[in-house]
């Protein structure tokens, strides 16, 4: 018997299914992670990684190794046939040919054992050595292998490059031939038992040597893994060798076709092999499905972790939840929509693979979930969709959004719908946290009276602006406003009037801000505008416009009396002499002082050390 395995410890494997695979390099290096609780050794990893690569063509290195070893075999076989002492055949040519045909057929039966394949060629190799001239047996063996491989190539069961390895597959026949020629130079009929053992041992040693060399040179597979498989191969060869001896003896004693009777064993193995291979393939498909399911769940868990690690942004939360559900439920497409705040109108925030054929089902399920506030399922044109609202568990407020998924076949089971509901419920809890976080954030950074940024936020904005200036040279200007005679307003008209004035002036400052600018209450009656990407001339224009608008305000106090409000403005901009937040604020404050000192209700600016 010859034995092969998924990474070719004995070469016939190249005839049929298993090349040296790129995927197996991971297992050879021992760095593929063990999955699904499996505990495997290197051989099993080789089998697992190579299963899907069985029809991959040889790499150049593998072809070169196979061709070199095959060339060495052919040279040895021809030398034996020409140079060895002449030995007579012990059976007619037709019997030898019949046994060779049986050998060729048996070489196509690859019975899975452990991580490899057992091929019952030993049943006919022994009769060939007994019935045919031993020096010619290696040539007969390689011819049988070549015919079997060529038939498979013509049937498109294997690639043509498998012919490169027929010599590698046949090396195991050279060593026994040498032993027989040395022990029984005239006839192998009177072969002693110890010589049979020597021939068998020589066969095994040559087999492990050639297969190990082939895999080491061609694929880099360590010999240790080869030997682990070959231990089982040797045991099976040892068990089948006596059957081959008995068939050969019966043929010599007059039963010429006795070896052909062993085809019954080969046929039995072929039937069992077919069934066993189908079961292995089915198990492999199930294993791959489990791995795919595990991968989807791992991605879903990772998405949920991303949600916890996110910066509490609703759009990001809906996106992460939708993607987690998409992976966990094995959907074909999905979308996440946020509530626009106007009834039940939804605004698309994120999509995955929204093909045109999925759109009708997605829309139907999403609208139903928005109307009912419950998990909704819709089927349109054989496309199934499921949608779930994202709301706080209390259910007292409108849903923050809807997550919708679609599949082209199979629909969504109750279990998958329950999983989507769970994910959306957790997202609902997080959405409530987002709202509370937004309120707290606004309270922490907003002045309660004016609604402008407070002093803390003001310092943060100025600091960020100076950092941007240092990195990229982005301009930054600061406007400081101080209401003229504000203490007198508070003392004579009351604090309620003073608060009214501050709110009115704050509204003016907001109208003077562009996108990206920020107005703030610096402290007391002092207000500010931080102008991003503004040079000093533009900042002066904004300051003058704001001063004029404040002076034009028509205000009344709590008793209905008219009230006139003016402001002094100090302006400063980052530059060679002003590069730090403290220096910028000090420069604007100095300019503000100059404006006050010059008569109030005017704009002054600070450039370097000069106030104008």
Inter-CA distances, 574 with 134, 278, 517, 531, 609, Å: 98, 77, 15, 11, 12
Interior/surface letters 59-84, b for 16+ CB within 10 angstroms, e for the rest? eeebbebbbbbbebbbebbeebbeeb
Question: What is the gyration radius of the CA atoms in the chain, in angstroms?
Answer: 43
Residue 457 CB neighbours (<10 A): 18
Element (H, E) at 18: none
Q: Is residue 133 within 8 Å of 85, Cβ to Cβ?
A: no
Distance of alpha carbon 410 from the chain centroid: 25
Torsion over CA: 143, 146, 152, 157 (sign): positive
Closest CA to 241 of 185, 182, 176, 149: 176
Distances (CA, A) of 478 to 464, 529, 533, 540, 606: 13, 6, 11, 10, 10
- Residue 607 — φ and ψ, nearest 5°? -120, 110
Q: Name the residue with tokens 């609202």.
A: 389
- Of the candidates 168, 166, 195, 169, the one whose C-alpha atom is nearest the C-alpha of residue 180 is 195
Sign of CA dihedral 289, 292, 298, 304: negative
Region for 380 from its dihedrals, namely left if φ exceeds 0, alpha if ψ lies in -120 to 50, beta otherwise = beta
Angle at alpha carbon of residue 49, lines to 43 and 54, rounded to 5°: 105
Helix/strand/coil for 430: helix
Q: Tell me the torsion sign for CA atoms 178, 181, 183, 187.
A: positive
Answer yes or no: 62 catalytic. no
Q: Which of the following is catalytic: 4, 518, 525, 526? A: 525
User: Using CA atoms, how far apart are residues 109 and 270, in angstroms rounded to an integer?
Assistant: 6
Please give the C-alpha separations between residue 507 and each of 74, 554, 598, in angstroms, as whole numbers. 97, 13, 26
Q: Which residues form the catalytic set?
A: 525
């Amino acid at each position: 018997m010859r034995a092969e395995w998924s990474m070719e410890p004995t070469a016939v494997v190249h005839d049929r299914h298993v090349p040296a695979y790129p995927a197996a390099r991971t297992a050879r290096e021992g760095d593929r992670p063990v999955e699904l609780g499996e505990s495997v050794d290197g051989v099993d990893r080789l089998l697992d990684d190579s299963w899907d690569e069985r029809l991959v063509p040889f790499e150049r290195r593998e072809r070169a190794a196979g061709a070199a070893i095959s060339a060495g075999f052919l040279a040895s076989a021809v030398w034996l046939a020409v140079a060895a002492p002449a030995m007579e055949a012990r059976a007619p040519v037709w019997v030898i040919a019949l046994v060779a045909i049986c050998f060729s057929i048996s070489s196509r039966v690859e019975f899975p054992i452990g991580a490899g394949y057992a091929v019952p060629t030993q049943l006919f190799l022994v009769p060939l050595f007994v019935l045919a001239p031993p020096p010619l047996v290696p040539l007969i063996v390689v011819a049988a292998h070549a015919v079997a491989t060529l038939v498979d190539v013509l049937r498109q069961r294997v690639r043509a490059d498998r012919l490169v390895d027929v010599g590698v597959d046949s090396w195991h026949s050279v060593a026994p031939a040498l032993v027989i020629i040395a022990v029984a130079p005239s006839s192998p009929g009177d072969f002693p038992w110890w010589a049979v053992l020597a021939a068998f041992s020589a066969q095994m040693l040559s087999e492990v040597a050639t297969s190990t060399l082939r895999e080491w040179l061609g694929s880099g597979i360590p010999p240790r893994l080869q030997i682990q498989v070959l231990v089982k191969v040797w045991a099976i060869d040892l068990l089948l060798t006596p059957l081959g001896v008995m068939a050969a003896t019966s043929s010599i004693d007059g039963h010429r076709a006795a070896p052909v009777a062993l085809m019954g064993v080969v046929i039995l193995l072929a039937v069992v092999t077919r069934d066993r291979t189908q079961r292995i393939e089915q198990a492999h498909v199930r294993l791959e499905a489990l791995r795919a399911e595990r991968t989807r769940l791992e991605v879903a868990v990772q998405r949920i972790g991303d949600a916890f690690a996110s910066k509490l942004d609703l759009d990001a939360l809906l996106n992460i939840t939708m993607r987690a559900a998409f992976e966990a439920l094995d959907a074909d497409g999905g979308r996440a929509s946020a509530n626009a705040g106007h009834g039940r109108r939804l605004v698309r925030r994120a999509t995955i693979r929204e093909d045109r054929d999925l759109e009708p089902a997605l829309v139907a399920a999403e609208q139903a979930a928005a109307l009912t506030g419950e998990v909704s399922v819709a089927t349109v044109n054989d496309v199934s969709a499921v949608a779930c609202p994202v709301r706080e568990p209390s259910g007292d407020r409108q849903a923050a959004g809807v997550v919708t998924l679609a599949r082209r076949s199979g629909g969504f089971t109750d279990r998958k719908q329950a999983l989507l509901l769970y994910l959306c419920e957790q997202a609902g809890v997080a959405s409530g946290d987002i709202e509370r976080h937004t309120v707290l954030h606004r309270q922490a950074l907003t002045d309660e009276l004016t609604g402008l940024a407070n002093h803390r936020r003001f310092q943060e904005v100025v600091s960020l602006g100076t950092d941007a200036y240092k990195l990229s040279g982005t301009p930054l200007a600061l406007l400081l406003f101080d209401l003229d005679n504000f203490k007198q307003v508070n003392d004579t008209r009351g604090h309620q009037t003073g608060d009214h004035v501050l709110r009115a002036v704050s509204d003016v400052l907001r109208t003077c801000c562009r996108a990206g600018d920020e107005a703030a209450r610096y402290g007391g009656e002092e207000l500010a505008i931080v102008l991003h990407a503004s040079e000093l001339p533009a900042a002066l224009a904004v300051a003058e416009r704001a001063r004029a608008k404040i002076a034009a305000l028509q205000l009344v106090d709590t008793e209905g009396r008219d009230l006139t409000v003016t402001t002094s403005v100090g302006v400063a901009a980052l530059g060679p002499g002003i590069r730090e937040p403290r220096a910028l604020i000090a420069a604007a404050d100095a300019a503000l002082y100059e404006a006050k000192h010059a008569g109030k209700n005017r704009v002054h600016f600070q450039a370097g050390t000069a106030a104008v």
